[in-house]
A and B are shown apart, each in its own frame.
Chain A
């Protein structure tokens, strides 16, 4: 819980910082789309793989890109002051690895946001793509030979009817 929360918070913070910097500060050196190491191919935002945090940051992008499609793209661009291209955030490093956020600007609008997560070692366990789940199976009903039986705690009395008691008396 805390690890994945940390990853999500890191992602959100990263995304917020990038957007904040883009909106408030003078845009720095031209970021070439080619320099991006993150896969943000094509015109459509990649509907994939990434975390809840990335997914939620896509929402406004989706609605605004549909607005842009409706018409006034150049006006929007002027208003937002965002340059087109793919922008990569500075990686934020937490104890579980480095999270790096990227956004894609088309017509002055964020049309895609993505984040890279640690995928190796311990860090892979908090990769939001690999959330662990218990697997469902058929409830067995078997009588195998065992040395001991685990079950809900019995009382001294109900022990007498337990399989463990039968094992104990058989081997005594």
Chain B
């Protein structure tokens, strides 16, 4: 069963491939959508009464905020350290954990689906995907990585049964990623895809590497030892990938 939900400023595509009655699948999808809207309401920087907005105004502190927000803040701090400061929830001044929240919320949604008995599904939130199990026709999920200049073409095709694929790029929304060291828009890399166990981390790693520019190639190569593979296209059209990228055959 497939569903597309407009939430968090993007379109989220959900496919459940489990062989279960339609009513049950429908209920699982509704639960996922309910959670994503809840996250949007609680964590959006555009909503005046969200927890993040209240923290920005000083109405919430790290002590008085929800466990979810505290977990997000801790993760952002860890990522700031692990990315040499290139993933920075305070890059624009006030707190903005959006770069982590989307991947994290989808990771949580996929965990909930699994806990509810759905072992075969994927959730694609605006181009960042978490998948489990197998395709409705059997076999792994085949995931294309969009060609960074031609929207209807693919530059890689991956095959995964359990994992996450996140892509950050400058081609879709222009200069929206900044190098926190220079304050300038990210330059050098046009598309960065990170593949690994957690969508929350893969998404943040891809954004950090994009912000680094070409030095991000070396940084990404080191992530492979932690189980995070990558595929990158530079501004001048060179392509790079790590040795264990799960390319489809």
A residues touching B (Cβ–Cβ < 8 Å)? 1, 122, 125, 131-156, 158-159, 161-165, 167-168, 171-172
Taking a contact as CB atoms under 8 Å apart, the answer to whether B11 and A159 are in contact is yes
Partner of B9, one of A122, A125, A155, A164: A155
Taking a contact as CB atoms under 8 Å apart, the answer to whether A154 and B10 are in contact is yes
Interface size on B, residues (CB 8 A): 64
Taking a contact as CB atoms under 8 Å apart, the answer to whether B173 and A144 are in contact is no
Taking a contact as CB atoms under 8 Å apart, the answer to whether B154 and A144 are in contact is yes
Contact bitstring B144-166, A, C-beta under 8 A = 1, else 0? 11111011111111000000011
Taking a contact as CB atoms under 8 Å apart, the answer to whether B144 and A144 are in contact is yes
Taking a contact as CB atoms under 8 Å apart, the answer to whether A134 and B221 are in contact is yes
Taken together as a complex, chains A and B put the C-alpha atoms of A166 and B127 apart, in Å, by: 13
Q: Let me know if B118 is at the binding interface, CB within 8 A.
A: no
Taking a contact as CB atoms under 8 Å apart, the answer to whether A147 and B146 are in contact is no
Given contacts A140-B155, A151-B172, 11 further A-B contacts (CB under 8 A): A1-B84, A1-B219, A137-B240, A139-B147, A141-B155, A146-B142, A146-B144, A147-B15, A159-B10, A159-B11, A172-B2
Taking a contact as CB atoms under 8 Å apart, the answer to whether B13 and A152 are in contact is no
CB distance from A15 to the nearest CB of B (A): 25
Which among B71-79, B108-116, B231-239 touches the partner chain?
A: B231-239
Taking a contact as CB atoms under 8 Å apart, the answer to whether A156 and B239 are in contact is no
Q: Let me know if B105 is at the binding interface, CB within 8 A.
A: no
Taking a contact as CB atoms under 8 Å apart, the answer to whether B154 and A143 are in contact is yes
Taking a contact as CB atoms under 8 Å apart, the answer to whether B154 and A154 are in contact is no
Residues of chain B within 8 A of A165, CB atoms compared: 4, 11
With a 10 A CB-CB cut-off, give which of A149, A159, A161 has the most chain B CB atoms.
Answer: A149
With a 10 A CB-CB cut-off, give which of B124, B145, B225 has the most chain A CB atoms.
Answer: B124
CB distance from B203 to the nearest CB of A (A): 9
Residues of chain A within 8 A of B193, CB atoms compared: 150
Taking a contact as CB atoms under 8 Å apart, the answer to whether B154 and A137 are in contact is no
Taking a contact as CB atoms under 8 Å apart, the answer to whether A163 and B141 are in contact is no
Residues of chain B within 8 A of A158, CB atoms compared: 172-173
Taking a contact as CB atoms under 8 Å apart, the answer to whether A147 and B141 are in contact is yes
The 3 closest A-B pairs by CB, nearest first: A152-B169, A151-B146, A152-B172
Residues of chain B within 8 A of A139, CB atoms compared: 147, 155, 233, 237-239
Q: Let me know if B28 is at the binding interface, CB within 8 A.
A: no
Taking a contact as CB atoms under 8 Å apart, the answer to whether B144 and A134 are in contact is no
CB distance from A41 to the nearest CB of B (A): 32
With a 10 A CB-CB cut-off, give which of A143, A146, A151, A159 has the most chain B CB atoms.
Answer: A151
Taking a contact as CB atoms under 8 Å apart, the answer to whether B141 and A153 are in contact is no
Contact bitstring B170-198, A, C-beta under 8 A = 1, else 0? 11110000000000000000010100000
Taking a contact as CB atoms under 8 Å apart, the answer to whether A151 and B167 are in contact is yes
Residues of chain B within 8 A of A146, CB atoms compared: 142-144, 154, 157
Taken together as a complex, chains A and B put the C-alpha atoms of A140 and B155 apart, in Å, by: 5
Taken together as a complex, chains A and B put the C-alpha atoms of A151 and B6 apart, in Å, by: 17
| Sample of 6 A–B contacts (CB below 8 Å) | A137-B239, A142-B154, A147-B143, A148-B124, A150-B143, A162-B146
Taking a contact as CB atoms under 8 Å apart, the answer to whether A164 and B167 are in contact is no
CB distance from B245 to the nearest CB of A (A): 9
Taking a contact as CB atoms under 8 Å apart, the answer to whether B221 and A168 are in contact is no
CB distance from B145 to the nearest CB of A (A): 5
Taking a contact as CB atoms under 8 Å apart, the answer to whether A156 and B10 are in contact is yes
Taking a contact as CB atoms under 8 Å apart, the answer to whether B218 and A161 are in contact is no
Q: Let me know if B60 is at the binding interface, CB within 8 A.
A: no
Partner of A148, one of B13, B217, B222: B13
Q: A135-B241, A165-B11, A168-B2 are in contact. Are A145 and B142 (CB under 8 A)?
A: yes
